[in-house]
Amino acid sequence: MQSKSIDALIIGAGIAGLYQLYQLREAGMSVQCVDAAEDIGGTWHWNCYPGARLDSPSYTYQYWFSQELLDEWQWSERFPGQAEIKRYLHYVADKFDLRDRVQLNTRIASAHWDESAARWVVTSEAGQVWRARYLISCVGMLSAPKLPPFAGHDQFKGDIVHTARWPQQGIDLTGKRVGVVGTGATGIQVIQTIASQVAQLTVFQRTPQYAVKMNNYPLTGAQGDYWRSRHKQFAESLPNTFGGFEWDLPELGWATSLSVKERRQWLEECWADGSLKMWVGTFPEVLFDEKINEEVSIFAREKIRAAIDDPLLADKLIPTSFGFGTYRVPLENGYYAAYARDNVELVDVSESPIERFTENGLLVAGREYPLDVLIMATGFDAGTGSLTAMDVRGRDQLSLRELWSRDIRSTLGLQVHGFPNLFTIAGPLAPSTAFCNMTTCLQQQVEWVSDAINYISSNAIASMEPTKERQDRWVEHHDEVANATLLANTNGWYTGGNIVGKPRRLLSYIGGVGTYRQLCADIAASGYQGFTLRAQ
Ligand code: NAP
Amino acid at 149: P
**Residue 432: which pLDDT band, with cuts at 50, 70 and 90?**
confident
Give the pLDDT confidence score for residue 343 in this predicted structure. Answer: 98
Q: What is the pLDDT of residues 136-191, one digit of tens each?
A: 999 999 999 999 999 999 999 999 999 999 999 999 999 999 999 999 999 999 99
Per the domain annotation, does 158 fall within a domain?
A: yes
184 CA distance to ligand 1 centroid (A)?
4
How many other C-beta atoms can be found within 10 angstroms of the C-beta atom of residue 536?
9
Q: What is the pLDDT of residues 257-284, one digit of tens each?
A: 899 999 999 999 999 999 999 999 999 9
Instruction: Kindly report the CATH number assigned to the domain that includes residue 181.
Output: 3.50.50.60
Per the domain annotation, does 520 fall within a domain?
A: yes
| pLDDT above 90 for 430 | yes
Give the pLDDT confidence score for residue 252 in this predicted structure. Answer: 79
Atom 8 (ligand 1) nearest CA: 182
Task: Please give the residue that has the higher pLDDT: either 490 or 18.
Answer: 18
188 CA distance to ligand 1 centroid (A)?
9
Please, are residues 162 and 376 in contact by the beta-carbon 8 Å criterion?
yes
Please, are residues 146 and 378 in contact by the beta-carbon 8 Å criterion?
yes
Domain-ending residue, one of 316, 349, 379: 379
Q: Is there an atom of ligand 1 within 6 Å of 379 CB? A: yes
Domain-ending residue, one of 361, 379, 397: 379
Average pLDDT, the chain: 96
Task: Please state the atom number of ligand 1 nearest to the C-alpha of residue 349.
Answer: 20
DSSP string, 279-346: HHSS-GGGGT-HHHHHHHHHHHHHHHHHT-S-HHHHHHHS--SS-TTSSPPPEESSHHHHTTSTTEEE
Give the pLDDT confidence score for residue 434 in this predicted structure. Answer: 82
Question: Is residue 385 domain-shared with residue 526, that is, in the same domain?
Answer: yes
**Residue 125: which pLDDT band, with cuts at 50, 70 and 90?**
very high
Question: Is residue 355 domain-shared with residue 504, that is, in the same domain?
Answer: no
Give the whole-number percent of the chain exceeding pLDDT 70. Answer: 100
Q: What is the pLDDT of residues 184-197, one digit of tens each?
A: 999 999 999 999 99
The predicted model gives 60-79 an average pLDDT of: 97
Question: Is residue 385 domain-shared with residue 513, that is, in the same domain?
Answer: yes
CA dist 261 to 212, 266, 295, 335, Å? 21, 9, 11, 29
Q: Is there an atom of ligand 1 within 6 Å of 148 CB? A: yes
Burial of residue 207, with CB atoms counted within 10 A of its CB: 0-12 exposed, 13-18 middle, 19 or more buried: middle
Give the pLDDT confidence score for residue 453 in this predicted structure. Answer: 98
Q: Is the pTM of this model over 0.85?
A: yes
**Residue 255: which pLDDT band, with cuts at 50, 70 and 90?**
confident
Task: Please state the atom number of ligand 1 nearest to the C-alpha of residue 163.
Answer: 26
Give the pLDDT confidence score for residue 489 in this predicted structure. Answer: 83
Atom 17 (ligand 1) nearest CA: 148
Give the pLDDT confidence score for residue 253 in this predicted structure. Answer: 83
Long-range contacts of 286-289 (CB under 8 A, 24+ apart): 286/255, 286/323, 286/324, 286/325, 287/325, 287/326, 287/485, 287/486, 287/487, 287/510, 288/484, 288/485, 288/486, 289/255
Give just the sign of the alpha carbon dihedral 54, 62, 426, 166: positive
Domain-ending residue, one of 344, 379, 414: 379
- In DSSP terms, 113 is beta-bridged to 120
Please state the φ and ψ torsions of residue 110, each to the nearest 5 degrees: -150, 155
Q: How far apart are CA 208 and CA 307, in angstroms?
A: 15
Q: Is there an atom of ligand 1 within 6 Å of 382 CB? A: no
Q: How far apart are CA 416 and CA 418, in angstroms?
A: 6
Give the pLDDT confidence score for residue 316 in this predicted structure. Answer: 97
440-456: string of b/e by CB count within 10 Å (b at 16+)?
A: bbbbbbbbbbbbbbeeb
Question: Is residue 99 domain-shared with residue 176, that is, in the same domain?
Answer: no
| pLDDT above 90 for 472 | yes
| pLDDT above 90 for 452 | yes
Q: How far apart are CA 138 and CA 390, in angstroms?
A: 13
Question: Is residue 367 domain-shared with residue 392, that is, in the same domain?
Answer: no
| pLDDT above 90 for 251 | no
Q: Is there an atom of ligand 1 within 6 Å of 162 CB? A: no
Task: Please state the atom number of ligand 1 nearest to the C-alpha of residue 184.
Answer: 25
Q: How far apart are CA 260 and CA 88, in angstroms?
A: 44
The predicted model gives 238-265 an average pLDDT of: 91
**Residue 249: which pLDDT band, with cuts at 50, 70 and 90?**
confident
Per the domain annotation, does 422 fall within a domain?
A: yes
Q: Is there an atom of ligand 1 within 6 Å of 207 CB? A: yes
Q: Is there an atom of ligand 1 within 6 Å of 183 CB? A: yes
Give just the sign of the alpha carbon dihedral 338, 340, 343, 349: positive
DSSP string, 29-47: --EEEE-SSSSS-THHHH-
Give the pLDDT confidence score for residue 465 in this predicted structure. Answer: 98
**Residue 307: which pLDDT band, with cuts at 50, 70 and 90?**
very high
DSSP state of 453: H
Give the whole-number percent of the chain exceeding pLDDT 90. Answer: 95
The predicted model gives 220-245 an average pLDDT of: 93
**Residue 441: which pLDDT band, with cuts at 50, 70 and 90?**
very high
Structural domain for 356, as ranges? 146-209+330-379
Question: Is residue 182 domain-shared with residue 164, that is, in the same domain?
Answer: yes
Please state the φ and ψ torsions of residue 386, each to the nearest 5 degrees: -80, -25
Question: Is residue 421 domain-shared with residue 522, that is, in the same domain?
Answer: yes
Q: Is there an atom of ligand 1 within 6 Å of 512 CB? A: no
| pLDDT above 90 for 45 | yes
Q: How far apart are CA 477 and CA 248, in angstroms?
A: 22
Question: Is residue 344 domain-shared with residue 432, that is, in the same domain?
Answer: no
The predicted model gives 75-81 an average pLDDT of: 97
Per the domain annotation, does 488 fall within a domain?
A: yes
Per the domain annotation, does 234 fall within a domain?
A: no
The predicted model gives 386-411 an average pLDDT of: 98
Per the domain annotation, does 523 fall within a domain?
A: yes
Q: What is the pLDDT of residues 101-114, one digit of tens each?
A: 999 999 999 999 99
Give the pLDDT confidence score for residue 176 in this predicted structure. Answer: 98
Number of domains in the chain: 2
| pLDDT above 80 for 1 | no
Number of H helices, E strands in the chain: 18, 20
The predicted model gives 297-311 an average pLDDT of: 97
Question: Is residue 11 domain-shared with residue 119, that is, in the same domain?
Answer: yes
The predicted model gives 497-515 an average pLDDT of: 96
**Residue 391: which pLDDT band, with cuts at 50, 70 and 90?**
very high
Long-range contacts of 515-523 (CB under 8 A, 24+ apart): 516/412, 516/430, 516/431, 517/239, 517/240, 517/444, 519/412, 520/412, 520/414, 520/444, 520/445, 520/448, 521/448, 523/412
Question: Is residue 128 domain-shared with residue 102, that is, in the same domain?
Answer: yes
| pLDDT above 90 for 133 | yes
The predicted model gives 91-105 an average pLDDT of: 98
Give the pLDDT confidence score for residue 250 in this predicted structure. Answer: 83
Question: Is residue 205 domain-shared with residue 344, that is, in the same domain?
Answer: yes
Q: Is there an atom of ligand 1 within 6 Å of 185 CB? A: yes
Per the domain annotation, does 233 fall within a domain?
A: no
Give the pLDDT confidence score for residue 254 in this predicted structure. Answer: 84
Q: How far apart are CA 273 and CA 303, in angstroms?
A: 14
Question: Is residue 125 domain-shared with residue 19, that is, in the same domain?
Answer: yes
Q: How far apart are CA 493 and CA 1, in angstroms?
A: 39
456 CA distance to ligand 1 centroid (A)?
40
Per the domain annotation, does 179 fall within a domain?
A: yes
Q: What is the pLDDT of residues 356-379, one digit of tens each?
A: 999 999 999 999 999 999 999 999
52 CA distance to ligand 1 centroid (A)?
13
Task: Please state the atom number of ligand 1 nearest to the C-alpha of residue 187.
Answer: 25
77-108: string of b/e by CB count within 10 Å (b at 16+)?
A: bbbbbbeebbebbbebbeebebeebbeeebeb
- In DSSP terms, 9 is beta-bridged to 32, 135
